[in-house]
Amino acid sequence: MVSRVSALLYGVGGIVVAGVALLVAFQERLIYVPVLPGLTKSYPITPDRFRLIFEDVWLRSSDGVRLHAWFIRLLPDCRGPTILFFQENAGNIAHRLEMVHIMMQRLKCNVFMLSYRGYGESDGFPSQHGITKDAQAALDHLMQRTDIDTSQIIVFGRSLGGAVGASLLKNNPEKLQVAALVLENTFTSILDMAGVLLPFLRWFIGGSSSKGLKILNCFVRSPWCTIDIIGQVRQPILFLSGLQDEMVPPSHMKMLYAKGAAHNGHCIFVEFPTGMHMDTWLAGGDHYWRTIQQFIQEHAVEKKHEESCNDTEPR
């Protein structure tokens, strides 16, 4: 009996040690994938491929890392909504250009695409601490531009980008000029995703809603706990969930919505039955784009019109 207990304890200990080793050695490689297999870090195409009007933007994060971005205009003098787009964890912004091209046509907006540090032509190495600074640099740049309407900025994040966007708005409660937040197929936290991708770890790692021991949480350098901050976002939030998501369980989006809606009366949740992790925008078709268009119209365009009317009323 004693030998069996000892064997069990050794087995559990071995799992914990293996889990720690995996987390310490490979976590950044699992979370951040700037280079897709068989490809290079550089951009395979630029917005020129789609005949888009764009400029290369070079930024400096607050810790001095040189960052690259594309600011893509709908028209030379377009002052309509501007989407600050944060991508997923794999590949670079060039791999999203087909979707962004359609986004601009359907939503009649400008798009600012940021390359996180370590991605595309940006310097440095990705981490939660660093990417948070990168997102701040992007927002600060947009707020200082005089050729866009800074009251019609919409933050749009997909997967990891949703965590980046939520963190950005949580860290900038005073910047209420940012009109809204759109989250698509975003996880509750990397801590919860660790248990999804590596099931044997779920008893030793997890987010705030996990029932596990969480003894490995302290080893995670990029926890991205969106579930813990979504309730602090004051802007309207649109949650877009692909129900066939093969990477992030759709239940994560439902939990994010529930947490957000408990603190924010301007949350909308929309499901797309055939949407997978990367193709919800494609599988959702016209319904997908109309949903976002109506959300932007209500919370950016009409809001701007109401503010303009209020400014012209006699006092």
**Cα gap 42→46, rounded to integer Å:** 10
Catalytic residue among 228, 266, 277, 279: 277
Answer yes or no: 95 catalytic: no
Catalytic residue among 159, 189, 222, 241: 159
**Cα gap 111→125, rounded to integer Å:** 24
Q: How many CB atoms lie within 10 A of CB 261?
A: 17
Answer yes or no: 68 catalytic: no
Answer yes or no: 245 catalytic: yes
Q: Going by C-beta distance under 8 Å and a sequence separation of 6 or more, which residues neighbour residue 211?
A: none
Extract long-range pairs of 36-43: CB within 8 Å, 24+ residues apart: 36/90, 36/91, 36/95, 39/91, 41/92, 41/119, 41/120, 42/120, 42/121, 43/92, 43/93, 43/94, 43/120, 43/121
Q: How many CB atoms lie within 10 A of CB 298?
A: 16
Identify the bridge partners of residue 184 per DSSP, sorted by sequence position. 158, 240
- Using alpha carbons only, what angle is made at residue 238 by residues 257 and 117, rounded to the nearest 5 degrees? 95
Residue 123: both structure tokens together: 């310097």
Q: Which of 110, 237, 218, 219 is nearest to 162 (CA)?
A: 237
Residue 84: both structure tokens together: 């600050």
Catalytic residue among 95, 245, 252, 299: 245
Q: Where does the chain have alpha helices with state H?
A: 2-31, 97-107, 128-144, 160-170, 190-197, 226-229, 250-261, 280-283, 285-296, 302-312
Cβ-contact 219, 24 below 8 angstroms: yes
**Would you please indicate which residues are annotated as catalytic (active-site) residues?**
159, 245, 277
